[in-house]
């Protein structure tokens, strides 16, 4: 029984760190490429669910409140550059939603759905698979999405139901 708990927490840690690195990599690729707000929003929701617990607690604390305050203040001066809704999501979300998404398999299923949405959105952004050109951006995006799916499915398979 104790091995199952250790395996489950190891799978959660792998999901959190691997998924976060993959999502941040995809955010960078998205901001350097098409700059799709739909993909950015899906990736921020993925980060919200998979962000490592240690860092998430820091963002939910006093430091996160200051970051959210500065983001709102910066949004007053640069509304097109800085979008506040994505920054303050980590701070103002009610605890019951945070605990429901981050402490159960629901979060893993939610992240899997977000990964599917990312793939569908990318295919629509390319006007279908017929116009698919393989370049560095495309290769990096496919690699990032592959790792995103890998860590999510690993967590869902290794986690306790």
Q: Which two tokens stand for residue 141?
A: 């995006």
Helix, strand or coil, per DSSP, at residue 100: helix
**Overall number of domains in the chain:** 1
For residue 120, give the H/E element and its range: helix 105-125
Residue reference for tokens 């809704």: 85
For residue 30, give the H/E element and its range: helix 2-32
Burial of 90 per CB tally in 10 Å (0-12, 13-18, 19+): buried
107 inside domain: yes
> Contact 89/44 with Cβ under 8 angstroms?
yes
86 inside domain: no
CA distance 114 to 82: 23
75 inside domain: no
117 inside domain: yes
Does position 1 have pLDDT exceeding 50, yes or no?
no
CA distance 161 to 19: 20
Span 22-45, pLDDT tens digits: 989 988 888 777 777 788 888 888
109 inside domain: yes
pTM of model > 0.85 = no
Span 67-90, pLDDT tens digits: 888 888 888 888 777 666 676 777
136 inside domain: yes
User: Domain residues for 41?
Assistant: 8-58+94-158
64 inside domain: no
Span 89-132, pLDDT tens digits: 777 777 888 888 888 888 888 889 988 988 888 777 666 555 66
> Contact 31/40 with Cβ under 8 angstroms?
yes
63 inside domain: no
């Amino acid at each position: 029984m104790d091995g199952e708990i250790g395996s489950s927490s190891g799978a959660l840690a792998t999901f959190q760190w691997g998924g976060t690195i993959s999502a941040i990599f995809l955010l960078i690729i998205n901001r350097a490429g098409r700059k799709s707000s739909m993909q950015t929003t899906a990736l921020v929701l993925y980060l919200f669910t998979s962000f490592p617990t240690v860092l998430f607690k820091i963002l939910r604390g006093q430091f996160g409140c200051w970051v959210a305050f500065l983001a709102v203040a910066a949004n007053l001066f640069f509304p097109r550059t800085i979008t506040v809704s994505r920054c303050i999501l980590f701070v103002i979300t009610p605890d019951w939603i945070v605990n429901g998404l981050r402490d159960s398999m629901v979060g893993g299923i939610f992240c899997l759905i977000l990964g599917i949405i990312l793939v569908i959105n990318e295919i629509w952004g390319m006007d279908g698979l017929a116009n698919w050109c393989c370049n560095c951006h495309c290769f990096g995006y496919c690699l990032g999405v592959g790792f995103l799916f890998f860590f999510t499915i690993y967590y869902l398979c290794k986690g306790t139901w």
